[in-house]
Amino acid sequence: MPNLLSLEFEIFGRVQGVFFRKYTQKKATELGLAGWVRNTSQGTVQGVAQGPAPKITSMKTWLQTTGSPSSQIEKAEFKETAISTPQFKKFSIDKTR
C-alpha cells in the first residue's frame, strides 16, 4: 500500500467567484483523492486532500499553478501529514462557512 498523506491547503489570490472549488473537486476526484474544499471569509480557499503521496504531489502542483481557468493564484500554503487511513470517502465542496 502506498504512503498516504493528508494535505491541508489554503490558496490566496482571485480564487472566489471563479469556480475554484468546483475545479478543485473535479481534479481531486480525477486523482482519486478524498477530502473537502471551501471558501473562507478572508477571500481564500481552504481544504484537505487525502490519498497516496504521488497523487498528493500532483494535487499540490495543480493548486499552485493551475486552479480554475479564471483564477489568479498568488500564494499557496500547504501542510502535509502522514496518515494510515483516509478520514473521508470522497472529495466534497463544503458550503458551510
Question: In the prediction, which pLDDT does 95 show?
Answer: 86
Three-state secondary structure of 16-76: CCCCHHHHHHHHHHHHCCEEEEEECCCCCEEEEEEEEHHHHHHHHHHHHHCCCCCCEEEEE
pTM here is 0.94
Fold of 4-84: Alpha-Beta Plaits (3.30.70)
Catalytic residues: 21, 39
- The string of pLDDT tens digits covering residues 40-75 is 999 999 999 999 999 999 999 999 999 999 999 999
Band of residue 1 on the pLDDT scale cut at 50, 70, 90: very low
- The string of pLDDT tens digits covering residues 34-44 is 999 999 999 99
